[in-house]
Amino acid sequence: MMRMILGAALLALAATAHAQGELKGDPERAKQKISMCAGCHGISGYKTAFPQVYSVPRLGGQHAAYIVKALQEYKSGNRSHPSMRAIAASLSNKDMADLAAYYASDTMKSAAK
């Protein structure tokens, strides 16, 4: 019974999201915004020391939905990283979709290989 209720809720959620329409990103528009990303994410093998030492992930070739979700989680505070939270706080949903479309584009997929 619980599975049926959960399944119905997921279907309703999917229908609502579809009815509202997915926000389409524009990779060309993102080119005006990528400087804030490229300083860390565009350098192969880059490591940062704030707030701790770790390898910065490459964004090229990531799925657009993953990038948008990650940015939304940084903005909401569900993901914790001071620099990313500050950057994501300045982004609109359209900005996030544009950046995601850019980094998920075929050009960036090729560059990530």
Q: Give the residue among 61, 51, 48 at the shortest CA–CA distance from 105.
A: 61
| Residues 65, 67, 68, 74, CA torsion sign | positive
* Whole-number Å distance between alpha carbons of 71 and 79: 9
Mean pLDDT estimate for the chain: 81
What mean pLDDT do residues 80-94 have?
94
Q: What is the DSSP letter of 79?
A: S
Secondary structure tally for the chain: helices H, strands E: 7, 2
Confidence at residue 40, expressed as pLDDT on a 0 to 100 scale: 85
Give the tens place of pLDDT for each residue, 18-42: 444 568 999 999 999 998 898 888 8
Domain 23-112 belongs to what topology?
A: Cytochrome Bc1 Complex; Chain D, domain 2 (1.10.760)
Question: How many angstroms separate the CA atoms of 73 and 113, rounded?
Answer: 27
Give 50-76 pLDDT, tens digit per residue: 667 778 888 988 999 999 999 999 999
Residue 6: per-residue pLDDT? 46
Least confident span in 43-47, 64-68, 108-112: 108-112
What residue spans define the domains of the chain?
A: 23-112
Return the ∠ at Cα 58 (arms to 40 and 112), rounded to 5°: 125
Distance CA 58, CA 62 (A): 8
